[in-house]
Structure 1
Amino acid sequence: MLRFQAPKFGAELAQTAYKRGLAVTAKDGTTRPIPITGTAVILDAAEIRRRSELAAKLSSATLKMADAVLNGGTRDVLLGALSPLERSIAERTWQQVSRLATTRVDFFVNTANQPRALEINTTIPAMQGYSDIAARTFLEVVARHFGYPEKAIHALLTLNGSNALALYRALLDGYAIERKGQQPNTIALLCRRNDSQITELRYLAERFREFGADADVVHPDEVSGDDAFIVNGKKYDLVYRHLFVRRLEETPSPWVEDFLGTVPGKKAVFLNPPTSQMEVKTTFALLSQALAEPELAEGIGLSADELEAIRACVPWTRRFRHAPTQGPGGEKLDDIVAAVAAEPHRYVLKRAWDYGGKAVFLGRSVGTVPYNERAQALYGAPLGWAELCERAVTDPTGGGYVVQEVVETQPEDHFVCTETGALPSSFYVDYSAYASVGLAKQPAWGGVCRGSMGEIVNIMGGGGVIPLITTEVAHKLLMAWKAI
């Protein structure tokens, strides 16, 4: 139904979403719209909750695994992947990190309709704002197009849920734990100037103000204070960080570097500290390995629920090195590298610590333009698969590589909306589920869906956002359309 209607409201949908902040910001401050689809991903609310519960268990298991590695004799497996400042902060703070207001697990849903976790984001698990902009704008535009009662649209939005509200509640719940039941009056959203996602942060600040806190977007060069987090004379009780540590290496800020090195914060409560050691994909590989090595799982204290979550949705993943292991089907592999080189269609190589999919290689995409461009950029030539495997296994940058079993998925038909209309497209779609660690209870997290014409899905690389709508909300819209 939406495929036939999307061309009629596509331009309005794209224009409104862009105005609200669904955009990427360049270094010079100019913006470009992030594409939005006039078609949605529709899931039962119970399935959305289930995926967030899986993400919560995977997040807590990842924290346990990272802690165990840093507390043992192989800590350089993780720390060696990090930049100097990232490493310094990790070494100063890892023992104090027990609470994370927000994490994000990125899934592909395979051809058997099972979500398979590709990686976990804990450094900047963003897109709570983008996801809300997409869903809110979609629901408002479609509801009005279908003649849905104007006064009932707000109830429709509430029924669909809000990741911005879940983030706000997670921050307040964590603050109450740290400050013995108190609530913050002021919240600073810390990011660099002209951050690529600054429009999302401005949207979040607006929502936080609506929810009851005085919130502002602030920048490292504005912050000072001997005993407090102060910007232009204003004291902030709680800080939400949207700032990669590596950005501070590009533009040093000693005050902020010192602030990030104290968890959960003295000058202000700080509930999403840099946790690069968790996000290094080697940690994820070790979780997968723990399924085949009960002594590893027991040694780090993985619970039965955490192990079941790993078993249910983590694809076979290993450190990419010359070593024997148990393969994806339980078979014995004498050497990981030789096995991967021999069957490119089964595997994907990923640099353990990198951003934006720049060092992700699908074996079955050898010879394609994206594959060749990545190989050329990293190694100076469009390497074949066996050649790439040999280069990757000897490349220590970013902690080397991990190898993961390919998740079989199929592209979906969607209508991509622009300011001039809507066009049919074929998108690979991922599903990211939000969660928290260390709170008394999980807030009502939802998810976000991204789409891309290539199998490596990334917003900054040209992908788009697909509105996530619950089945109940979609049914109400359908009934309104049928009544026209």
Structure 2
Amino acid sequence: MHELMDVLRRQAHYFGPELAKTAYQRGLAVTKPDGSTQPIPITATPVILDAEEIKRRALLSAKLASATMKMARSVLGGPDAELLLGALSPLERRLAQATWEESRKLATTRVDYFVSGGQPWALEVNATIPAMQGYSDIAARTFIEVVARHVRYPEKALASLLTLNGNNALALYRALLDGYAAERPGKMPDTVALLCRKNDAQVTELRWLCERFREFGADADVVHPEDVSGDDAFTVNGKKYDLVYRHLFVRRLEQTPAPWVEDFLGVVPGKKAVFLNPPASQVEVKTTFALLSQAVTDAALAERAGLTPDELEAVRAAVPWTRPFRHGPGVGPDGAQVDDIVARVAEEPARFVLKRAWDYGGKAVFLGRSVGTVPYEERVKGAYGESKTWAQLCERAATDTQGGGFVVQEVVDTQPEEHLLCGQNSVLPTSFFVDYSAYASVGLAKQPAWGGVCRGSMSEIVNIVGGGGVLPLITTEVASKLLLAWKAI
């Protein structure tokens, strides 16, 4: 534990409300359908990691994201394509079929981890909207500035302290520029569109990113599907855009159709603007991740996907045992052959978690060790309308085909941590389960300097929109400089 944490715990009631207020003003918020906003809580107690460890996790994520994309391509190009396509909505399916062969670049992905005993264990890969680059920067930047002023850190040195901590918005921008340069050699985009729904839950984050892109030199705007048109260019209100960054769930277009945008999303890397983060539902479907885990013990599967030794080693080292959840034989979590995966999982609920292969927000995630608790009962009744024992749930989930059915994962043993949660009028001790997410790019010539983001929740199923908060992620070097300033007072 870094010595700064003791200082923060003693001093948080002085700076915590200002931290919460400023972070909210900058965009650390969830936007509701009516356009009103709700603050995302921030902690006065950060996650402190060596810069080299942050870099190591980003490189690990790059290998896992690349391997996951390869696995998705392999499945869609083979006889078992329905394993992934069957999980998707009609428009997601149509776009996946139209674009998967050409989709070789993902400007940004996010791998979510739980850390146990210092080892990060990858729970899933996010490739549809791997968000929170803005949220993470707002949290870290605001924390550093507020705490630095509280400990009387030299104002003139504050900019270098922020630079030292890293910048996910800058990494995203560089990933987009590198991808654009690969598609348009010798050129830079004059205009950048950040495409999202009006009143998107994360629109304040998009506005933050847009402001940062402008600081970096881009003519950037947040735009919405209903405003886009153009016969030969991506055009909004008469302005043409060279590069488009998509922050838009395809399923939202099914709820509010936008034919022009649907057509645009069906061509990679874009026929009317360069488009570097295409819909990649097939990559994020948890069945793909389960097959990646299975490839560790299935050499033929690994070979068909074209996994490199480095990628396979990354899977072996950081992916907990995960399998498609259906009746039949397989290799269990201990490496032994089992006659039936479902029966094996039903026998030991405390060891496993069931997840719907394609779903948002953690609604259909069932922890075996939570059987008998109120959250377990609420989730089961929400999914199936009635209470079920673990054995009954396993049997039902094994035959449920909605969203591509379920996968099973060996649970990562993580314990809640004590943090100080800041409101604009309070600082409260809170017990949080904390995850770590690391960003990565796929298919670019080099990785930008990606960092990570940390979320906390009172539930083991961590989700920002569904409740929880953001913990500032700062480097050990930054923490040490802040501590030194405090000691000098």
Matches within 5 A, 1:81-92: 81-92=87-98
Whole-Å Cα distance in 2 between the matches of residues 184 and 288 of structure 1?
39
Which of 2, 5, 9 is the matching residue for 1:3? 9
Superimposed CA distance per residue, residues 6-35 of structure 1 (whole angstroms, 9 cap, x where no aligned partner): 111110000000000000000000000000
Number of positions where the alignment pairs a residue of Structure 1 with one of Structure 2: 483
Give the aligned residue type for 2:306.
G
Residue 108 of structure 2 aligns with which residue?
A: 102
Give the aligned residue type for 1:117.
A
| 1:50 matched to 2:53 | no
Give the aligned residue type for 1:114.
Q
Range that drifts further, 294-303 or 225-234? 294-303
Q: TM-score, normalised by structure 1?
A: 0.99
What is the CA distance between 1:181 and its match in structure 2?
A: 2.3
| 1:39 matched to 2:17 | no
- SS of the residue 2:296 aligns to: helix
What is the CA distance between 1:383 and its match in structure 2?
A: 1.4
Give the aligned residue type for 2:472.
P
Superimposed CA distance per residue, residues 157-184 of structure 1 (whole angstroms, 9 cap, x where no aligned partner): 0000000000000000000000012111
Residue 71 of structure 1 aligns with which residue?
A: 77
Q: TM-score, normalised by structure 2?
A: 0.98
4+ long deviations beyond 2 Å: none
- SS of the residue 2:270 aligns to: coil
What is the CA distance between 1:3 and its match in structure 2?
A: 1.1
Matches within 5 A, 1:143-222: 143-222=148-227
Matches within 5 A, 1:292-441: 292-441=297-446
Residue 59 of structure 1 aligns with which residue?
A: 65
Whole-Å Cα distance in 2 between the matches of residues 186 and 8 of structure 1?
43
Which of 453, 468, 477 is the matching residue for 1:463? 468
Give the aligned residue type for 1:84.
P
Whole-Å Cα distance in 1 between the matches of residues 8 and 396 of structure 2?
47
Whole-Å Cα distance in 2 between the matches of residues 426 and 331 of structure 1?
37
Whole-Å Cα distance in 2 between the matches of residues 26 and 295 of structure 1?
47
- SS of the residue 2:100 aligns to: helix
What is the CA distance between 1:266 and its match in structure 2?
A: 1.2
Which of 109, 114, 119 is the matching residue for 2:119? 114
Which of 278, 281, 285 is the matching residue for 1:276? 281
Superimposed CA distance per residue, residues 47-96 of structure 1 (whole angstroms, 9 cap, x where no aligned partner): 00000001000111011100110010000000000000000000000000
- Alignment RMSD: 0.6
Which of 286, 302, 322 is the matching residue for 2:291? 286
- SS of the residue 2:295 aligns to: helix
What is the CA distance between 1:5 and its match in structure 2?
A: 1.1
Give the aligned residue type for 1:483.
A
- SS of the residue 1:95 aligns to: coil
Whole-Å Cα distance in 2 between the matches of residues 384 and 301 of structure 1?
40
Whole-Å Cα distance in 2 between the matches of residues 149 and 341 of structure 1?
59
- SS of the residue 1:291 aligns to: coil
Superimposed CA distance per residue, residues 308-339 of structure 1 (whole angstroms, 9 cap, x where no aligned partner): 11011000000000011111111221101101
- SS of the residue 1:283 aligns to: helix
Superimposed CA distance per residue, residues 444-466 of structure 1 (whole angstroms, 9 cap, x where no aligned partner): 00000000011000001111000
Residue 4 of structure 2 aligns with which residue?
A: none
Superimposed CA distance per residue, residues 380-408 of structure 1 (whole angstroms, 9 cap, x where no aligned partner): 01211111111111110000000000000
Superimposed CA distance per residue, residues 255-305 of structure 1 (whole angstroms, 9 cap, x where no aligned partner): 000000000001000000001000000000000000011121112210011
Residue 442 of structure 1 aligns with which residue?
A: 447
Whole-Å Cα distance in 1 between the matches of residues 119 and 133 of structure 2?
23
- SS of the residue 1:296 aligns to: helix
| 1:474 matched to 2:474 | no
What is the CA distance between 1:370 and its match in structure 2?
A: 1.3
Residue 242 of structure 1 aligns with which residue?
A: 247
- SS of the residue 2:206 aligns to: helix
What is the CA distance between 1:107 and its match in structure 2?
A: 0.3
Whole-Å Cα distance in 1 between the matches of residues 351 and 407 of structure 2?
14
Give the aligned residue type for 1:156.
L
Superimposed CA distance per residue, residues 404-453 of structure 1 (whole angstroms, 9 cap, x where no aligned partner): 00000111111000000210111000000000011111000000000001
Residue 140 of structure 1 aligns with which residue?
A: 145
Whole-Å Cα distance in 1 between the matches of residues 304 and 102 of structure 2?
20
Superimposed CA distance per residue, residues 219-248 of structure 1 (whole angstroms, 9 cap, x where no aligned partner): 001000000000000000000000000000
Gaps of 5+ in 1: none
Range that drifts further, 376-385 or 200-209? 376-385
Q: Percent of counterpart pairs with the same letter?
A: 75
Whole-Å Cα distance in 1 between the matches of residues 338 and 155 of structure 2?
61
Whole-Å Cα distance in 2 between the matches of residues 444 and 101 of structure 1?
13
Residue 230 of structure 1 aligns with which residue?
A: 235
